[in-house]
Structures are given as structure tokens and as C-alpha cells.
């Protein structure tokens, strides 16, 4: 699969040039102090990783439980399992960084319902592909439009569960409730995870994933809040954006720069 990935990279990057301008534009905003040569090197590494992720997504259909736990592990696993035992209903926030697909393999070790929140894709064939891939390890996928009634029903009927959000994509500016700072830029951000955490007083944890080498990842839990109602509004969202930026700055080539994350930017710091 990685040999195939290398071949597809050559076509995608050098022939098709898929979103190369978007990626470079994002990188210039995020790293204004870097030279064009440095930014283009990051872009090149990103496309190698970008294709690898899709190959790893395909591998998800056949990878064994033993293999996925070998290739993707939690550094502070005892702490995570103790936390989830103490808080059986929890909200996890993460992002499109490194391999967010194989994170779902950790569901093998968790003895509770795990709900993955996702936005339906217009292409029904690719949407079905995503659903099958992400449901491999018993994760229950929940379209965003169905999330609120599901959580209300679960809460009313005392059904415990872990709710996972990828919070880094840009919402429509007209629908944004809050703007946060990301790489010195004011951008609209998703706040549903914080709103729901406060509504049900579910703790919020963030997983910082790192790529060790090709096909191997590790992730570490950071607690953003055990008692969300005690924090001012939007502080949890700001904490998430801050953690994400720190994570990206360490190895920027592993973030999904094809997203137009800065398309609604209000202010760029000087």
C-alpha cells in the first residue's frame, strides 16, 4: 500500500496538483516567518502523508486488532482508562492531524458506547466507505444533524457513552457563534462540543497525536475540563484551539492543510 501511495503522490502532486495553491496559501498564513522554500518543503511532505492516510484508511478494513494497537497506542493509557471509568460519559475533541482514523481502534479497550460525530458526504459511495471504515471497531457513527436528539435520549435514559468530535474544520461564518485565535488569525470555530459538555456537564478531553514514523502513531490525553460548567463560555474551545496550534507547530506536515481553514479570517496579527 505504501508503494502505491508513493505512486499516487507523484500523480496527485506533480501532475494533478490537487489543491496545491490552497495548501501553500494556508501555510503562508500560519507560518509567515518561513521562506517559500521551507513552506514548499512542508507542502511536499504533507502530500506524502496525505496519500498515506487514505492508504491506511483502506487498510482499516483488514487490519487485525493486534496490529492496529501495535501501530497506534496511547502513551498514558492507564490514566485514560481510569478517567473513562470515573467519567463513563465523556466528550473527546481532536482534529484532522496525523492519523485520526486509527484512533478509533482504541475503542477495543473501552467497554462503553463510542459515538463518532461526522458530517455526511454528498457522494454516497464515499460516504458509505467512510462509515464502514470508521465503524470497523464498533464505533457508532452519528451524523451531525442527528447528534442533539441522540444525546438527549441517551441522557434521559442514562445511556453512557463517549462522544468524539473532530473540531478543527471551519463552520460557515454566518452560523458561527464564536471566533477564536488560530495562528494569529481570528477564525470561526465549532462550539457544539463545548455547548453539549456544559449542557450535560460531561468532561472534555483532548488527544494529541504524533506520527512516530510511517504507519506508526502515538497519542496522549490532555484534560481540558472535568467540570465544564465551572469555566467561562468558550474557554474550552479556546483551550482546544491552543492545544491544536501547539501540536501543528511541532510537525506541520501532518495537518490536513487542504481544508480552507482561514477562508473566513477576520484579523491577522502583525
C-alpha–C-alpha distance, residues 61 and 49, integer Å: 19
Q: Is the pTM of this model over 0.75?
A: yes
| Helix runs in the chain, H state only | 2-9, 20-30, 36-59, 65-71, 77-86, 124-134, 144-156, 192-200, 235-250
| Per-residue pLDDT tens over the stretch 173-218 | 788 889 999 999 999 999 999 999 999 999 999 999 999 999 999 9
Residue 67 has pLDDT above 50, yes or no: yes
Residues 269 and 185: beta-carbon distance below 8 Å: yes
User: Which residues, in sequence order, are bridge partners of residue 185?
Assistant: 182, 268
Q: How confident is residue 120, by pLDDT bands cut at 50, 70 and 90?
A: confident
- Give me the long-range contacts of 133-138 (CB less than 8 A, separation at least 24): 133/57, 133/58, 133/60, 133/61, 133/101, 134/101, 134/104, 136/60, 136/61, 136/104, 137/65, 137/68, 137/104, 137/105, 137/107, 137/108, 138/107, 138/108, 138/114
pLDDT tens per residue, range 148-175: 999 999 999 999 999 999 999 888 878 8
Alpha-carbon span 31 to 229, nearest angstrom: 35
Count of alpha carbons within 13 angstroms of residue 136, beta-carbon side: 20
Q: Taking the CA of residue 219 as centre, how many other CA atoms within 13 Å lie in the half-sphere pointing to its CB?
A: 29
Q: Which residues contact 261 (CB under 8 A, 6 or more apart)?
A: 26, 168, 169, 170, 182, 187
pLDDT tens-digit readout, 122-154:
888 888 888 888 888 889 999 999 999 999 999
% of the chain residues with pLDDT over 70:
99
The distance between the two most distant Cα atoms of the chain, rounded to a whole number of Å, is: 56
Q: Cα separation of 166 and 118, whole Å?
A: 8
| Interval 235-253: pLDDT, tens | 999 999 999 999 999 999 9
Query: Given a cut of 80, is residue 270 above it in pLDDT?
Result: no
Amino acid at each position: 500500500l505504501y508503494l502505491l501511495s508513493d505512486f499516487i503522490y507523484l500523480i496527485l502532486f506533480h501532475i494533478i496538483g490537487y489543491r496545491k495553491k490552497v495548501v501553500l496559501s494556508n501555510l503562508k498564513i500560519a507560518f509567515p516567518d518561513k521562506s517559500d522554500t521551507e513552506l514548499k518543503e512542508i507542502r511536499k511532505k504533507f502530500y506524502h502523508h496525505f496519500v498515506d492516510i487514505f492508504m491506511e484508511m483502506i487498510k482499516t478494513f483488514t487490519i487485525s486488532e493486534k496490529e492496529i494497537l501495535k501501530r497506534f497506542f496511547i502513551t498514558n493509557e492507564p490514566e485514560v482508562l481510569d478517567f473513562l471509568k470515573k467519567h463513563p460519559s465523556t466528550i473527546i475533541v481532536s482534529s484532522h492531524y496525523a492519523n485520526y482514523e486509527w484512533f478509533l481502534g482504541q475503542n477495543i479497550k473501552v467497554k462503553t458506547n463510542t459515538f463518532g460525530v461526522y458530517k455526511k458526504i454528498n457522494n454516497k459511495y464515499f460516504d458509505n466507505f467512510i462509515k464502514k471504515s470508521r465503524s470497523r471497531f464498533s464505533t457508532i457513527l452519528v451524523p451531525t444533524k442527528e447528534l442533539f436528539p441522540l444525546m438527549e435520549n441517551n441522557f434521559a435514559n442514562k445511556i453512557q457513552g463517549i462522544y468524539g468530535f473532530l473540531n478543527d474544520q471551519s463552520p460557515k461564518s454566518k452560523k458561527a457563534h464564536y471566533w477564536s485565535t488560530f495562528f494569529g488569525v481570528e477564525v470561526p470555530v465549532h462550539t457544539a462540543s463545548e455547548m453539549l459538555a456544559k449542557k450535560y456537564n460531561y468532561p472534555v478531553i483532548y488527544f494529541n497525536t504524533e506520527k512516530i514514523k510511517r504507519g506508526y502513531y502515538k497519542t496522549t490525553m490532555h484534560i481540558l475540563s472535568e467540570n465544564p460548567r465551572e469555566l467561562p463560555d468558550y474557554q474550552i474551545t479556546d483551550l482546544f484551539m491552543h492545544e491544536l496550534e501547539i501540536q501543528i507547530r511541532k510537525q506541520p506536515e501532518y495537518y490536513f492543510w487542504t481544508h480552507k481553514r482561514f477562508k473566513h479570517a477576520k484579523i491577522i496579527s502583525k
